[in-house]
């Protein structure tokens, strides 16, 4: 299974971007899908997650501005980002926590990341 993220880029403060991440290959089970980000000199941090049941969780810093969603049929998770500011500048990584077969352990799968830069 591979995760491919897209949609990053350069945006002005106050602008919007939409990220998407498609998983190639099939999961036997998925606990959650999510987005994380990492800025230079900082640890990777959670941005938002969505469970298999549809429950969402957001970092305090993005609540009210970002929205995570998923299309199960398309094996895709999305992140709509509005009212972006310089502090949102980071490499964004998509994540799936799941298992690829009934015999494998649940683990984290990561995409390669997409750069989001918020600057005037």
pLDDT of residue 26: 86
Q: What is the 3-state secondary structure (H, E, C) of the chain?
A: CEEEEECCEEECCCCCEEEEEEEECCCCEEEEEEEEEECCCCCCEEEEEEECCCCEEECHHHCCCEEEEEECCCCEEEEEECCCCHHHCEEEEEEEEEECCCCCCCEEEECCCEEEEECC
pLDDT of residue 83: 98
- 117 in Cβ contact with 10 (< 8 Å): yes
Residue with tokens 């352990």: 105
- 34 in Cβ contact with 77 (< 8 Å): yes
The candidate with the shortest Cα–Cα distance to 27, out of 107, 92, 93, is 107
pLDDT of residue 25: 84
Cα–Cα distance for residue pair 94/90, rounded to 1 Å: 13
pLDDT tens across 2-45, in order? 999 999 999 999 999 999 999 998 899 999 999 999 999 999 99
pLDDT tens across 55-113, in order? 999 999 999 999 999 999 999 999 999 999 999 999 999 999 999 999 999 999 999 99
Cα–Cα distance for residue pair 29/17, rounded to 1 Å: 29
Q: Is the pLDDT of residue 1 over 90?
A: no
């Amino acid at each position: 299974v591979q995760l491919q993220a897209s949609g990053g880029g350069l945006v002005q403060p106050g602008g919007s971007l939409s990220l998407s991440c498609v998983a190639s290959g099939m999961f036997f089970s998925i606990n959650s899908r999510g987005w994380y980000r990492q800025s230079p000199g900082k640890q990777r941090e959670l941005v938002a997650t969505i469970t298999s049941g549809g429950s969402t969780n957001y970092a305090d810093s993005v609540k009210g501005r970002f929205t995570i969603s998923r299309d199960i049929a398309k094996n895709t998770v999305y992140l709509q980002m509005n009212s972006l500011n310089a502090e949102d500048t980071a490499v964004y990584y998509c994540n799936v926590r799941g298992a690829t077969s009934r015999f494998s352990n649940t683990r984290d799968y990561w995409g390669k990341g997409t750069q989001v830069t918020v600057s005037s």
